[in-house]
Structures are given as structure tokens and as C-alpha cells.
Amino acid sequence: MSTKLTLRRIFAGTLWAGRISVKRIRQLGADSRFILMYHRITNPRTEPVYIQPGMYVTPETFAMHLKALQSETIVLPLHELLNRMRQGNGNPASKPLCAITFDDGWLDFCTNAFPVLKSLNMPATVFLPTNFIGTDKWFWTDQFAFVWKQLEPRRRPAATAALRSLSRIQGSFESQIEKAVAVLKNLPGNAIEDVLAELEKCAGTSSRVPGRAFLNWEEVREMRGSGLVSFGSHTAGHQILTTLDQNGIRDELLVSKQKLVEEKAADADGLSFCYPNGNFNQTISALVKESGYSSAVTTKTGWNSFSENHFALKRIGMHQDMTSTKSLFLSRLAGIF
Ligand SMILES: [Zn+2]
């Protein structure tokens, strides 16, 4: 563990003892709300690909989060939280109000998160990239990590030399992946496919990750049927919207919305949207509104005031490292870290 994390842990432990975090959370809850952002609920040791630290919490940590939320807050379905924000008249409840969201619709939501939510009767919203649901596709970031691992370390320099965009990728295996993904994110989709194809050639193997990454539509409908889980759009192809032209953005918004309604994952009214990678601007959020969505969440960190723009809602990201104890979790909610 890094020194920074150890210090953070010690500091958070002290805060917990003084209940400063809880006090701060109650203060904030008087005139603002928070939305949690999760991606995957899994143990990285059991996964076929490297998972970035910001992308997961373990099932044990997740269960601890829910129990802490249950004692310190009132968890509402996202649409209800937003309705109460629209009404705006303070928070008559003694505890802060919040909502839980998940990005990407990973299969582990069904296997690891839903059973815990169900046992505690707590609601959540999951944002689906509809082209990936019910398929055995993986995100290109995972395909990259998978093929990079197959590439013997001594062949990586030759591979990066052949790929101009990756020519400066060095360091540990993990930092190579992080750096490469950061570089490749800025490239158009077909250029990323070219990079993967080149790496497949160098590694002499496919970049197809074994197993299924995402939910299927039966699982989606079944969880919706429980009354605890609602679904929103995370586009169709999980493309970063700031890299597309207006027609491309509209397509992503409308195709995904239509698919969610067609598959009975959601009703057309009151549908929420989630910007891939958190990238958006004013034009994009206007298009989201124009396409009939009622709200949109970002990756900007913080609590939301009553006057918050409902198409630029902030969330608090949940990382395993930063929230692995109750004291760390509460201090993250309190905005101390
Ligand atoms: Zn995403």
C-alpha cells in the first residue's frame, strides 16, 4: 500500500472516531443530495483481464458500503431523488438522501451486486451501453489489456515501435496499460481497431477476451421486475460523445433509448442518461434533453444542490482502494478525500 493511502487510512480512522465525517454528511444533506457511481463489483483476482483500480470494489466492500448507507442515509431510486430535488423544499428527513448508480451493465452487477441490494431492499440504477448488452463483446480497453498480457514482455518494445501512438509506453505492466488506454482514448474508433489488429499480429493471438462481460436482456428484465433496479442509457456503442459529430451523438442517444424501450428495460418517459467517460459539453447535454431524456449523470465529483442542472449531475466515484474501510468510505462521502 502506498504511503499516501496509509496516511489517508490513519487520518480517516481518526475522523471516524470523532464522527466528523458523519456530522459533515448530515450538514451537506440539509440542502444537497449525493449520487454514488460504481462500475464493477468483483474481485480482480478472479478476472481474465487487468481492471483499473478506479473501476471496481470487491463484493465484501460493496456490502459494507450498503450497510453504512443504510444506517447513515436514505437511499432512493434515482428518479425519486431527482423528483425531490425538483420540489426543492429542503430535506425534511433527518438523514441525507442519496441514490446508487452503476455504469456499463457488467454481468457482475447481476451476480455480485443485485443479491446484496435485494437482501437489504435497496434500489439502484444501471446505465447500459445497449450494443454490448446480450452479446459476448468486451470494451476495447479490456481487449487491449488482454492482448497486451499475451504479448511477451520482450516483444512489447517491437510492438510499440510499430504503433506510433504507443511509442512512449513504458513502466510496470499496470502503468503501461493505464498510459496506453489514456493515449488510445483520443483516437477515433477505427484507429483503435487498427491498433488492436496490429497487437494481435505481434502477439500471434486474438484480442477476444473469454467469457461474457455484460448483462443480457433477460437478466435486465428480471432485475427490473424486482422493482429495485431501474435502467438508463449509457449510449449504444459506449463511444465518447465529444469525439462524434451531432448526427453521431443523436444516433447514440436515440438508438439506445429505442432499444431500452423495445427490450422492456425501461419506459421512454423519465429515462436517465450517463455520459461515457464523463465527457460532455453544452451542445451534448442539450441534445440529451432534446432526445427525450429527463436527466444525465457525469463523472464530476460532488454533491448536488437543489438548483443543480439535471443534465450535469455530479456523482461520487467508488474505488476499492479509497473506500475499503467504513471510515474511508464515510470520509469520501463527506468530501474529505
Ligand atoms: Zn462507461
**pLDDT, position 103:** 98
**pLDDT, position 87:** 80
CA of 20 to the centre of ligand 1 (A): 33
Decide if 102 contacts 125 (C-beta within 8 A): yes
pLDDT of residue 159 exceeding 80: no
332 band by pLDDT with thresholds 50, 70 and 90: very high
pLDDT digits (tens, 9 = 90+) for 79-104: 999 998 888 766 666 799 999 999 99
* Strand 40-41 with 56-57, pairing: parallel
Q: Specify burial of residue 11 (Cβ count, 10 A radius: 0-12, 13-18, 19+).
A: middle
pLDDT of residue 202 exceeding 50: yes
pLDDT of residue 271 exceeding 60: yes
Higher pLDDT, 117 or 50: 117
**pLDDT, position 294:** 97
CA of 277 to the centre of ligand 1 (A): 6
Q: Could you state, in order of their start, the residue ranges of all structural domains in the chain?
A: 3-135+216-333, 140-203
d(CA 302, CA 257): 27
d(CA 79, CA 102): 14
Percent of the chain with pLDDT over 90: 65
CA of 164 to the centre of ligand 1 (A): 26
**pLDDT, position 310:** 96
52 band by pLDDT with thresholds 50, 70 and 90: confident
Percent of the chain with pLDDT over 70: 91
CA of 3 to the centre of ligand 1 (A): 30
CA of 286 to the centre of ligand 1 (A): 20
- Give one word for 131, left, alpha or beta, with left for phi > 0 and alpha for psi -120 to 50: alpha
What does pLDDT average to over the chain?
90
d(CA 133, CA 109): 13
CA of 269 to the centre of ligand 1 (A): 22
CA of 55 to the centre of ligand 1 (A): 10
13 band by pLDDT with thresholds 50, 70 and 90: low
The DSSP secondary-structure symbol of 143 reads H
**pLDDT, position 86:** 83
Nearest to 52, CA basis, from 62, 40, 60, 64: 40
The owner of cell 502503468 is 175
CA of 157 to the centre of ligand 1 (A): 30
pLDDT of residue 18 exceeding 60: no
- Other CB atoms closer than 10 Å to residue 91's CB: what's the count? 18
CA of 106 to the centre of ligand 1 (A): 10
Nearest to 213, CA basis, from 42, 96, 6, 2: 42
pLDDT digits (tens, 9 = 90+) for 250-262: 999 999 999 999 9
Beta bridge partners of 127: 103, 232
Give residues whose Cβ lies within 5 Å of ion ligand 1. Answer: 103-104, 276
CA of 295 to the centre of ligand 1 (A): 17
CA of 139 to the centre of ligand 1 (A): 9
d(CA 146, CA 163): 17
CA of 17 to the centre of ligand 1 (A): 36
**pLDDT, position 124:** 98
Nearest to 271, CA basis, from 286, 249, 284, 254: 254
Higher pLDDT, 12 or 29: 29
CA of 142 to the centre of ligand 1 (A): 12
Decide if 161 contacts 202 (C-beta within 8 A): no
Cell of 195: 491498433
Nearest to 36, CA basis, from 107, 113, 110, 88: 113
In terms of CATH, what superfamily is 3-135+216-333? Answer: Glycoside hydrolase/deacetylase (3.20.20.370)
Read off the pLDDT of each residue in 177-193 and give the average, rounded to a whole number.
84
CA of 104 to the centre of ligand 1 (A): 5
Cell of 337: 478525500
CA of 219 to the centre of ligand 1 (A): 19
Read off the pLDDT of each residue in 323-327 and give the average, rounded to a whole number.
91
